[in-house]
């Protein structure tokens, strides 16, 4: 029997899917798939979509393609899905143009990774870059996308948060994609009540939740949201054994997918969950049929599909 702890207050968990950019077999953008993607998010009770980020291969898309994807997501969002558009770019000016377009399209928020070729060397330079981008969308919430493993911008977010809040009128918080949960907790504290700090690593969401996180953006929420929702429900009622067990199901799935290339494996999995999002853009390499069969067999052995379908949890 799972060990029960004193029941903790129940808070809602706002999951935002970092959405894939659907593509036709020839690599062109499949805008028609977006409505079906949005419906899938609604069915699982997700808060919204994070568009054209890492999962969406935003850095591999042209500016015109990014705008087309943004426009279509905003068209299908309705009143129940929050659309946050990643506009980060090596060019701050290009990022600003994408942000202005996102605002004109009706996005709820924009987010930007740091410039990743010529990089800001300190917090003041990063704040300046973010302020320039945010100024082009003056009516829209702005989030900084902290993902140092990709951007190679390793700056202290505990210092960036107050500096950005003072300099950027629309600053709404961070997308914190880092495994440093101690710093994540400090960021939540320093963000205050008016700003959010979205947790990034899906494979350790329970750690983020235990540090006070109540919102997250992630790749696997596109198809595995029920697992994380059950994990959070267990955590909220004080059943840490069940929360750990459920998180481990997701963590093992992510570890397995990493062995098949990571993002290409996640994108390939969409064909098993109702919306085939097609191939990846080069330099990523899509899975072939043999790899797909092998991946599915590995996940079936783990019991992943039964868990994501919401089978009864045994004590």
Backbone angles phi, psi at 84, to 5 degrees: -115, 125
* Residue of 175, 228, 260, 267 with catalytic role: 175
Contact 40, 4 (CB under 8 A): no
Q: 182: alpha, beta or left, given left = phi > 0 and alpha = psi -120 to 50?
A: alpha
Backbone angles phi, psi at 285, to 5 degrees: -120, 120
CA distance 280 to 49: 19
Instruction: Indicate the Cα dihedral angle 185, 190, 193, 194, nearest 10°.
Output: -120
Contact 172, 195 (CB under 8 A): yes
* Residue of 143, 144, 145, 228 with catalytic role: 145
CA distance 304 to 301: 8
Three-class secondary structure of residue 203 per DSSP: helix
Tokens 């568009």 sit at which residue?
51
Q: Which of 126, 143, 275, 278 minimizes the C-alpha distance to 200?
A: 143
Q: Which of 181, 135, 186 minimizes the C-alpha distance to 161?
A: 186
CA distance 18 to 253: 17
CA distance 58 to 89: 9
- The token duo for 284 is 């990523």
Give percent helix, percent strand, percent coil of the chain, each to the nearest 5.
50, 15, 40
The verdict on whether 175 is a catalytic residue reads yes
CA distance 43 to 151: 33
Active-site residue list? 145, 175
């Amino acid at each position: 029997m799972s060990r029960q702890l004193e029941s903790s207050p129940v808070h809602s968990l706002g999951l935002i899917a970092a959405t894939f950019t659907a593509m036709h077999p020839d690599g062109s953008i499949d805008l028609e798939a977006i409505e079906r993607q949005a419906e899938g998010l609604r069915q699982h009770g997700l808060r919204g979509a994070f568009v054209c980020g890492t999962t969406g291969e935003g850095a591999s898309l042209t500016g015109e393609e990014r705008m087309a994807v943004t426009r279509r997501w905003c068209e299908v969002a309705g009143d129940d899905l929050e659309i946050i558009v990643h506009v980060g770019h090596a060019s701050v000016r290009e990022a600003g143009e994408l942000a202005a377009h996102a605002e004109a399209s009706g996005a709820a928020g924009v987010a930007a990774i740091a410039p990743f070729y010529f990089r800001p060397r300190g917090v003041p330079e990063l704040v300046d870059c973010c302020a320039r981008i945010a100024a082009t969308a003056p009516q829209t919430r702005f989030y900084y996308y902290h993902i140092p493993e990709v951007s190679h911008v390793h700056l202290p977010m505990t210092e960036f948060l107050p500096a950005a809040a003072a300099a950027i009128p629309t600053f709404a918080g961070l997308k914190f994609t880092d495994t440093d949960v101690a710093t994540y907790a400090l960021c939540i504290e320093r963000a205050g009540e008016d700003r959010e700090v979205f947790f990034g690593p899906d494979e350790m969401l329970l750690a983020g939740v235990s540090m006070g996180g109540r919102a997250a953006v992630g790749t696997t929420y596109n198809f595995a949201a029920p697992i994380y929702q059950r994990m959070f429900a267990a955590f909220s009622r004080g059943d840490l054994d069940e929360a750990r067990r459920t998180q481990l199901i997701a963590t093992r799935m992510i570890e397995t997918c990493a062995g098949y290339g990571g993002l290409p494996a996640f994108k390939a999995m969409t064909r098993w969950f109702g919306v085939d999002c097609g191939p990846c853009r080069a330099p990523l390499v899509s899975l072939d049929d043999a790899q797909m069969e092998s991946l599915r067999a590995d996940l079936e052995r783990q019991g992943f599909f039964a868990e994501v379908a919401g089978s009864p949890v045994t004590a």
